[in-house]
Amino acid sequence: MFEGIRNHRFLRRITDSWFWEDVRDFLWSRSMVVFLGNAGTLIIAVVAVVHFWSRPYSFAGYLVVQLACLLCQAIAFIPVVWPGPGSSYAEVHQSVALLVVCGTWIFAVPPALILFAVFDVDSSSPPWAAMFVAGVALTLACAASLMASVPFEMKARDLRRRMAGPPEETDGADFAESESEGADSGGSDGD
């Protein structure tokens, strides 16, 4: 019954303990926290659209959505603040947060607006408010998180530069000396 697993290369690999240790390490890694926090922000925005789709807009409801998005972005920001030894997650966080906010405004909002225009939805109706509330909450939460991650990225960049050591100081003089020693200045072989 298990002969197919033992003979198949991929299936044999997933039965090894090192494979599952690698999977566990990836799932508990700090980069996964960045992805989960940003995914939570996106899920909160989708839930806000669903919630406000058939209900009238309220400022208190918007504040709840905004705070939930900020909480998810704070969770995604944890690896940036406490990166662990020898690593920086500021760039990962910035990339994923930009992907979430730009992807939402490129791939979700324009199709929704086109559908609203095609089906002649009144602009003062709850679906328009739902899109507005969710879009603004997601955008402001991601923007706040992106702005807060910039100092940590600069700190990590400076740390990498210090660990790499001073840059080599070459002004081209060594290269010019080696060129003049082996080159014929007249351009002829002395014929």
Token pair belonging to 157: 């960049």
Give the model confidence (pLDDT) of 30-52 as tens digits. 788 889 999 999 999 999 999 99
Residue 17, pLDDT > 80, answer: no
Residue 89, pLDDT > 60, answer: yes
Quickly tell me which residue has 């997933």 as its tokens: 14
Q: Read off the pTM.
A: 0.69
Confidence band for 167, pLDDT divided at 50, 70 and 90: low
Residue 99, pLDDT > 80, answer: yes
CA 54/CA 26 separation, integer angstroms:
40
pLDDT at 10: 66
Residue 63, pLDDT > 60, answer: yes
pLDDT at 56: 86
